[in-house]
Amino acid sequence: MKAVILDNDSLGEGVDLSPIENQVNEFICHSLTSPEQVDERIKDADIVITNKVVLNEDSLKQAKELKLVCVLATGMNNIDLKAAEKLGIPVKNVEAYGTPSVVQHTLMMMLSLATKMPVMQKRMAAGDWQKSPLFTLLNPPTYQLEGKHLVIVGSGELGQAVKKQAEALGMRVTFTARPGKTDDSRPSFDELLPEADVISFHCPLTEETKGLLNRNNIQHCPPHTLVINNARGGVAHEEDVLDALRKGQIGGYATDVLPQEPPKDGHPLLDALNEPLNLIVTPHNAWTSPEARQRIIELTAENINGFK
């Protein structure tokens, strides 16, 4: 059985691929694959392994030997799933591989926003502490998380793990109803906004969650609300959130995701990083601990073994 991985570089250095190699007779590893190279590289493969390389209907049809697609991630939006189903090609993803890593990143963002770290670091770089008549800088004041209300969108493994850590900080936690689900008895996202001190997104990007936080409902947030998006770009309408942050309608925004990655055409949030805002943008690296990346390989090997 021949397996081909199309974008091994997306896993970074130091990852041991032997768990996958041990499951197949032949293993070909490509660092990166352009759209023009896809068809040639998968044409005689039994198993195709990809992280972000797109497999469309035409490519899937031309891969006559293809029996299994393995995605090195949870999201499978780069695979034409309808075409794969029609062709009888199962698609397997990996889940819960980076929960500790993403939870750690979420807490880092929450604590950094609460302590106004982005603004304070700019003040420090500008020499404001040296010029202060006091022994400290009191502006902007920090925000104590104990006793505050965290609203989480997404009650899966990630959301549950964030809840546990937030409760250890003394926070009260509420999960919203699943957006678009009328049979969910939990309060809706919009209903919880007026009492949300912190909002954290851990949900997929769907028609129901796209632009879930936007200019129409941001006005119902308390002006101190801190917003964290470690889900998918577009769950929060970034331009609306940035406008609200500039106007003081929310207290801070942190995101690890943007609608286009990498943002080769730029993005307003990146441009705003030089402004004195309580704003954090990280390069979709919440999942990138060595432990999480190795777990992806182990789970992919299990998917292959289970298929055989």
Three-state SS for 27? strand
Q: Which among 242, 237, 200, 221 has a CA at the least distance from the CA of 110?
A: 200
Q: Is the dihedral of CA 286, 292, 294, 300 positive or negative?
A: negative
220 given a catalytic annotation: no
Please state, in angstroms and as integers, the Cα–Cα distance from residue 111 to each residue in 165, 245, 270, following that order.
12, 18, 21
Active site residue 21: no
Distance CA 263, CA 182 (A): 35
Question: Across the beta sheet with 226-229, what order do the strands follow?
Answer: 172-175, 149-153, 198-201, 226-229, 252-255, 279-281
Q: Which of 202, 232, 267, 295 is catalytic?
A: 232
Q: Mind giving me the DSSP string for 204-228? A: ---TTTTT-B-HHHHTTS-TT-EEE
Q: Is 186 an annotated catalytic residue? A: no
The active-site residue out of 40, 95, 261, 291 is: 261
Q: How far is CA 176 from CA 158, 159, 189, 210, 293, in A?
A: 14, 11, 5, 15, 30
301's tokens? 């090997």
Quickly count: other Cβ atoms within 10 Å of residue 148's Cβ: 21
- Which among 41, 95, 49 is positioned nearest to 68, based on CA atoms? 49
Rounded to whole angstroms, how far apart are CA atoms 230 and 307? 31
Question: How would you classify the pairing of strands 279-281 and 198-201?
Answer: unpaired
Q: Which residues are catalytic?
A: 232, 261, 284
